[in-house]
Amino acid sequence: MHYFWLFIAIISETLGTTALQASQQFTRIWPSVGAVVFYVISFYFMALALKVMPVGIVYAIWSGLGIVCIAALGYLIFGQKLDFAAVMGLMMIVAGILVIHLFSNTTTH
User: How many CA within 13 A on the CB side of residue 54?
Assistant: 11
- Give domain status of residue 108, yes or no: no
In a domain, residue 16? The reply is yes
The tens digit of pLDDT for each residue in 47-85 reads 999 999 999 999 999 999 999 999 999 999 999 999 999
Tally Cβ neighbours within 10 Å of residue 5.
20
> What pTM did the predictor assign?
0.90
Residue type, 53: M
Contact 97, 64 (CB under 8 A): yes
Please determine, for residue 89, whether its predicted confidence score (pLDDT) is greater than 70. Answer: yes
Mean pLDDT of the chain: 94
Domain contains 28: yes
Residue 41 is assigned to a structural domain of this protein: yes
The total number of structural domains in the chain stands at 1
First and final C-alpha spacing in the chain? 10
Q: Does residue 95 sit within a domain? A: yes
